[in-house]
Amino acid sequence: MTIRRIFDFALINVSVPVLAVCIILFIIGIIVIKTRYNKMPIWWKTVVVAIVGFTASILIVVMILIISFYSIGLSAFLPS
């Protein structure tokens, strides 16, 4: 049961701050694109937005996987 507690603690204390940091970085990225790259050509803006969007979607998928793994319960995978 101790291993499960460690996993619970790690999941809650790592995944939540990581998700928060990712959201903050994503918002900062959008603001930077809107202000800094206003004079850039349209294709450059498209590339930057595509990269940011792709990264955000990967992070969202990873977080969904972590949350679903957590909700299934680690007792199925770990000895109690």
Q: What is the pLDDT of residue 45?
A: 72
- The residue ranges of every structural domain in the chain are 1-21+44-80
- Contact between 66 and 8 (Cβ < 8 Å): no
How many angstroms separate the Cα of 33 from the Cα of each of 26, 40, 42? Answer: 11, 10, 12
Q: What is the pTM (predicted TM-score) of this model?
A: 0.41
Helix and strand numbers, DSSP H then E, in the chain: 2, 0
Cβ–Cβ under 8 Å, residues 33 and 48? yes
Q: Which of the two residues, 62 and 75, has the higher pLDDT score?
A: 62
Instruction: Dump pLDDT digits (tens) for 2-60.
Output: 666 666 666 666 667 777 777 777 777 777 777 776 676 777 777 777 787 788 778 77
Report the pLDDT value the prediction gives residue 59, as an integer from 0 to 100.
Answer: 78
